[in-house]
A and B are shown apart, each in its own frame.
Chain A
Amino acid sequence: MSFLLGKDMTGGYGAADILHACTIGVERGEIAVVVGPNGAGKSTAMKAVFGMLDLRAGQVTMDGEDITSLSPQARVQKGMGFVPQTNNVFRSMSVEENLEMGAFIRTDDPSDTMAQVFDLFPILKQKRNQPAGELSGGQRQQVAVGRALMTQPKVLMLDEPTAGVSPIVMDELFDRIIEIARSGIAILMVEQNAKQALNIADKGYVLAQGANLYTDTGEALLNDPDVRKAFLGG
């Protein structure tokens, strides 16, 4: 059983279900990527794992513990970090304050973690006193990821971290994500740029209409002719 596992998740926002017995999971130190066409329920699946969606069936476990009924805040306490797709920084606050807010629930001194984040994203150290809203798109994503890392999570969940950034910045961001995974954190990520994302993925989930279509290692999915044809543009 995976370290973090959303199993047979069924549910949606209103009366109609968006997810139909969808299962996604990730191991510590690994990267799992969720891909699929628009409207496949990728982000919804991610939100379900994070507790922002009421499930009618299925369950979410972390490290063997059932966390299905916990609120998102409680899941953060348990060691989940979440980076939303949009509005993921405090625009009027400085980079440093953003990171401080990330550590808001910690009772111990977070300065070591902040130093680690600054090591991981050196540009943030340079701009630590600048309001996050004035940074470029890629730098803002780094702030968002850094903010989520401040709680020293065991799992980091990223909702389309590369949306709206240039290819060079995307590569850079993926490199950092690999680095984070190497430090032993489980990474669950939803991505539009399926090919590049599967390249770095240990595990890949292809969703369609709220259900699992293919599940395999990133490499195997990249080489699967059906997946290539249907989702990766040949």
Chain B
Amino acid sequence: MSNRVRISSLFAFMAILLVTVGVVQSPSLALAILNLCLISAIMALGINIQWGYAGLLNVGIMGFAALGGVAAVLVSKEPVAETIALGAPGLLAALLVAAVTIALIVWVYKSMKGRLRSVLVTLIVVAGFFTARHFFDPAVEAIESTDSAATGYLGGLGLPIIFSWLVGGLFAGGAAWLIGKVSLGLRSDYLAIATLGISEIIIAVLKNEDWLTRGVKNVTGLPRPYPVPYEVEIQQSPAFQSWATYFGMDVVELSSIVVKLAYSGLFAVVLLIILLLCESALRSPWGRMMRAIRDNETAAEAMGKDVKGRHLQVFILGSAVVGIAGAMLTTLDGQFTPGTYNPLRFTFLIWAMVIIGGSGNNWGAVLGGFLVWFFWVEAEPVGLWFIDLVTSGMDETNPLRLHLLSSAAYMRLMAMGIIMLLVLRFAPKGLIPESRR
């Protein structure tokens, strides 16, 4: 079966699955799944750029996605004038001190040697840290104590939220640059561990720096991007109500479908743009070089290719795509909740998508994103049904039955692990293998 036929039939299968859910469960649920499938697919594309094109292992997807989420808050929320007046000067001073400190460290590190250098660097770090804290702490205190139930943070720029998708990409790309600088060029394990670390730290910062994102108090009520409407508004429009009667549907149900469809349209456009860019990049000389480096690093290096530089490039690009998807996700949710970022859901599930879909093939990554997310969502009711069936012979109050029913949700973790292992073993190239060009 040629790859093209394979791709079309697998995507057709996917479409059938979604339509089935729409008919059996509800169209609104099918669209909700579809929207997250689209976002997952974009994240999987980002990881596929890193892993499939260059063999780089990113285990910090959660952090990059969360950076996208921050961008959504910082771009779209209205600025809080009061807290800015109180805290901005202190924060700026702290930022300046931090910048000067880093510049000094770099300068000392490059221009000196030996013991003197270590002592000086330590001194600068300590002095810089305390000076920055001197400005930072009171400013944060002032911001966070201002109307902390409603704001207690700086707010954002008050721009349309759609810009945050780009900004999210920039944030994630910046973090990737930092990590890549440190750990690229070393063993591949080190990059994996370093990304794991940075993602934990990003989440810790977002949970605790209330002045920035209100921490675990969450930021709710993010505006929607144009042209997604609000349910309440369209429900009141007479034209919409006549449509509802025409389709014979409930107004509330139809409004929810319309809103989700609008999101789907937006997300699909982004996915297609990124997919198109990825595909053309893969076909370009740049893509050829990337694959050459991946397949034989030593040879590529001997031919004068800047392996580390290319890796850094690809790592930043991939992480930026994840950041974009992260911002889209927060936009869809309409709120930013740092407490919900969980590595199993955000990092490892995306890996399952890439591995199962087919690493190195963009269509494979997209398919993996769809299929795995669909499975992830639908495994819960199916697992519950399965356990219910198995234990149906038992008494209603049997403790084992009750325990199994309450634990059914975790079966999907096991199932996902097993599926990944099966793919690694029996179809290491995934459902849609990389096509040789």
- CB atoms of A and B under 8 A apart anywhere in the complex? no
